[in-house]
A and B are shown apart, each in its own frame.
Chain A
Amino acid sequence: MSITLKVNGEPRTVDVDPETPLLWVLRDELKMTGTKFGCGIASCGACTVQWDGMPIRSCQTFIGDLDGAEITTIEGVDGKAASAVQAAWQELDVPQCGYCQSGQVLAATALLEETPKPTDEDIDAAMDGNVCRCATYARIRKAIHLAAEKMEG
């Protein structure tokens, strides 16, 4: 089945089983490996991308439902919030193994686009679906607050 969607603003056409999760289309068909496979059941958030600006789990989003959709991945995310988040992540040396961080960056960006000055409770609510086995959560929290400051400045 041929499906056309926009990935990071570029129209892309793929010919795959419509049940294929978006995750595997991005990684194996489009060779965009920044979006990670962590659990396959939408429990860890490593595969987070944005669909029309909303964070979604690409491992449980099927390509057959995405004809015409606009998808943003870690390779293409930009704008004020994304730049602030990625700068804060580097400034505070957030990543350890780093495997979950694409998803964390996408989720944090979506949070700040919606809530530019999040409280700790907002951060808990927005980020609880994104697992980090290195437990970098303390730095992720600090980096989100720092990114919020950067967006103000």
Chain B
Amino acid sequence: MNKYHHHQRRLRAVQARIFVMTLLGLLVAVFFRAQVYRSADWSLQSESNRLRPLTLPAPRGTIRDRAGLPLADNVPGYSVSILSAVPDSMLSTLERMRQYLQIDGDRYRRLEEQARAGGPQPILVSVDAPFEAVAAIEERRAMFPRVLIETRPKRRYPVGEIGAHVIGSVGEINQAELDSPEFEGAEPGLIVGRSGIEWQYESTLQGEAGVRYVEVDATGRIVGSFRGFRRVEERPGQDLDLHLDRELMEWIHHIFPEGMGGAVVALEVETGGILALYSAPSYDPNVFAGVVDQEEWDRLNRDPQSPLFNRTISAKYPPGSPMKLITALVALEAGVITPSDRMPVACGGGYSYGGRLWRCWREEGHGSLDLADAIKNSCNVYFYQVGLRIGLARMLERVNDMGFGGRCGVDLPSEAAGTYPEGPEFWVRRYGYSPREGEVLNLAIGQGPIEQTPLMVAQYFLAVARDGSAPAPTLYRGAPPREGFRFDVSEEALEVVREGLRRVTQQGGTAYLSSLEHFDLLGKTGTAQSVERRETHAWFGATAGLRGGEPEIVVVALVEFGGGGSEVAAPLVARAADFYLRGQHGIPRDTIQTLRDYINARRNTAWALPTPEAR
């Protein structure tokens, strides 16, 4: 049979056409499935191929003082990251980068691990690269094709060391935090609060990071515009308004005795809001704003003066004489004394009880005193007898009720709890014997096993300045008011206590030289034994207001090794109160403030004479 007869050829041609059509038709069908039917899936993968998500850090909320002045805000800083690629390429980039950007050993090891682990996220080499390093890398773009330099908000503390302890500082999130449920979803490089307000109100200040995308090629090089697409806007953190008075803080820093350690607390009487919380010596929190310089950190940690230590709320001191205010309030509340009562035994320099002589601080004695004068003179003998009238059991119960063995509840981390015997078992536990009634004599004058933070001592004065109640001091103006403690004492009795305090800064008082021209300063000096040195810590606490008016501010200062309260602590408190009150009442501020300043400046001191008639 001739296979090339035209009939045969036509037959085979038809078969061939069917064969070709079938094959090509199948291919078209396959392409239809891929390009029309399932195109959406592939498009998605094409996008995820070429787009790399980058985190847009949210700026932290600004922290402002009562006048709206910034205490912590943000300035632009630079972050340096390496986009994901094959581990080898990332490692070599990291290695090369080390020439231009300082990366400490620990961090370097961590970054190496991250690079080896891979993943689509870029690795963040530095959250706060110095400008010189950024410029050096930018100049060598060709060497660092996968390196991404971005501006990111960097924390700034305009008042520096003045607010370091209360405002706190921030730092990069660490591994433990990343693993904790509290920071679920957080990414390395996130800046979080480390201490102070920054820590306390972390969730308010933090905000929410956004996401943007850059286009990369198959090897991970960025090729697309940096503006990106499908951007998820970051949500900045909320601003925080505090009770703090930045100018007052700055003034306190200015007048605090140079080179000494201590704490100053200022409270607004009306609200219990904290106007100033100052601890010296201090440090500049700006050095912690980005990558912590290990050397600086070590230096601060080793400093014998402990600049990182917040003396206003974390340090505890024996309260000394200011505690007598509490003794007086407990006694008045219990009705065991009246303001005009004089104690059976007049002060002759000491008081015999339990077979021993309990001394007054003044050897020659104070004579017979009423409450106001006992407070003015801080007479131990008077308060020994008040203590006995209260009785040890009642004293322990009432003072503990007030929470002096605990914390004030300020909205700050790392507040220390006060020390006050919770009951007779305290002595058994600590000293191995049951307390005798005589222990109350010590407690009544603020001695014995008592330690309080300066903030807590400020609360004593707050209770006296108000109606016997002291709310928990707060920093955040939006914080709900919380009751601290309350003494049920009549206004007349309180006025007697205030009168005693008032006399401290009047002629014959221990702090007369710290009296002020325009304002009543109701103060109390105190000394507290220090463990390590013979010299005592100096206390001075006061409440102040317009002459004859309501108290407006409470200021308490503790100066470590500051001797008696009247020498350094009292002028400090007086000048801080004066500064604040002048501001409140529109009186021009002056550096000549206390009576001593007036005398030194040879100004008219007639206002300081004891009675109004004499002025």
Q: Please indicate whether A and B come from the same complex rather than being unrelated chains.
A: no
